[in-house]
Amino acid sequence: MSEIDEVVTAVLRSRRYRSVHPATVRRLAEAQLAAGGGRRTDDAIKRTKRALHQIFGAYLPQPPRYERWLGELDAATTDAARHEVLRRAMAQHASTRERLEQLERFYAQLREHLGPVASVLDLACGLGPLAAPWLGLPVGTPYHAWDIDVELVGFVGEVLARLGLRPHAAAVDLLAVSTWPRTDLALVLKTLPCLEQQGAGASETLLDAIPAPRLVVSFPTRSLGGRAKGMGATYARGFEAILAARGWAAESFEAGPELVYVVERPHTPG
């Protein structure tokens, strides 16, 4: 077994990271082995797990109860009951938990800016697709949900089908996408900072590749620990420079600890 295979196998055998997309684990492991001309296997395993914690582990601190939530969703007989199940599930993921207090406001403002939506691509989606009822999508709307968590995207696909949407859920490494679906809207919610941690310029490369005329891009305005540290202003300066360089029009608003841009692009790739 090669050194890289040893690292990937060891990481995927761990309880914490066994559901991560193997391609993502391999990419991170290769970077750790290559840094400084190569590292010992044990050291590369630790560093790969550390990198995965930053982009994955920190957001799902507790084992998710996917089967339980699906059972509760199936047992719910009213929209209110279904929404309560979805809220409880979203509370288990750090990214969507931060949005729960502002959930109605967040999606009401999005609907106001967006109008009708014909199809969606949700990148690094986490449990965000569970908020589809608040986005007000028509029955049968195609919804592409991408994440590096294999088990999570399986669960999300099941939920979207139960909500009457047309799910296309897949485990995808956003830094190695070969084929993009063409959609009316792409959601890039609190995703770009994680990409930049993995490689400078990765977020711009991603944005330029997405073949959707409309983007919703958001940034956290405080850390997972609750500290602000001027994050919102820093992200705003960086992203608005990207918009200006490309001539993309955007409107922005804040909803709780999240800065949101609704971007209209005159030309799209592909």
- CATH code for the domain of 254: 3.40.50.150
Please check whether residues 165 and 217 belong to one and the same domain.
Answer: yes
Residues 128 and 219 in one domain: yes
Q: Do the beta carbons of residue 218 and residue 263 sit within 8 Å? A: no
Query: Does position 38 have pLDDT exceeding 60, yes or no?
Result: no
Average pLDDT over residues 28-41: 77
Residue 108 confidence class, pLDDT cut points 50, 70, 90: very high
One domain for residues 37 and 102: no
Same domain, 122 and 238: yes
| Confidence band, pLDDT 50/70/90 cuts, at residue 139 | very high
Residue 69 resides in a domain: no
- Establish if 270 belongs to a structural domain: no
117 shares its domain with 46: no
Which pLDDT score, from 0 to 100, does residue 75 have?
97
Q: What pLDDT is attached to residue 62?
A: 79
In this model, does residue 149 exceed pLDDT 90?
A: yes
**Which CATH number goes with the domain that contains 17?**
1.10.8.10
Asked if residue 61 has pLDDT above 70, the reply is yes
Instruction: Return the percent helix, strand and coil in the chain, to nearest 5.
Output: 55, 15, 30
| Residue 103 shares a structural domain with residue 15 | no
Q: What is the pLDDT of residue 83?
A: 97
Average pLDDT over residues 234-244: 94
- For 157, the domain range is 95-264
Q: 7 with 141, same domain?
A: no
Q: Is the pLDDT of residue 183 over 90?
A: yes
Q: Is residue 17 a part of any domain in this protein? A: yes
Residue 6 has pLDDT above 70, yes or no: yes
The band of 142, judged by pLDDT with boundaries at 50, 70 and 90, is very high
Is 107's pLDDT higher than 90? yes
Regarding whether 185 and 120 lie in a shared domain, the answer is yes
Q: Do residues 203 and 192 make contact, with C-beta atoms less than 8 angstroms apart?
A: yes
pLDDT, position 224: 53
pLDDT at 109 over 90: yes
Count of domains in the chain? 2
The mean predicted confidence, pLDDT, of the chain is: 91
Strands (E) across 118-242 are located at 120-122, 142-147, 166-171, 185-189, 214-220
Q: To which residue do tokens 């967040």 refer?
A: 106
pLDDT at position 37: 54
Band of the pLDDT at 211, cuts 50, 70, 90?
A: very high
Assigned domain for 74 exists: no
Same domain, yes or no: 37 and 120: no
Same domain, 43 and 100: no
Q: Is the pLDDT of residue 151 over 90?
A: yes
Residues 126 and 243 in one domain: yes
Do 128 and 17 share a structural domain?
A: no
More confident residue, 76 or 40: 76
pLDDT-based confidence at 227, cuts 50/70/90? low
214-220 and 166-171 strand pairing: unpaired
Residue 109 lies in a domain: yes
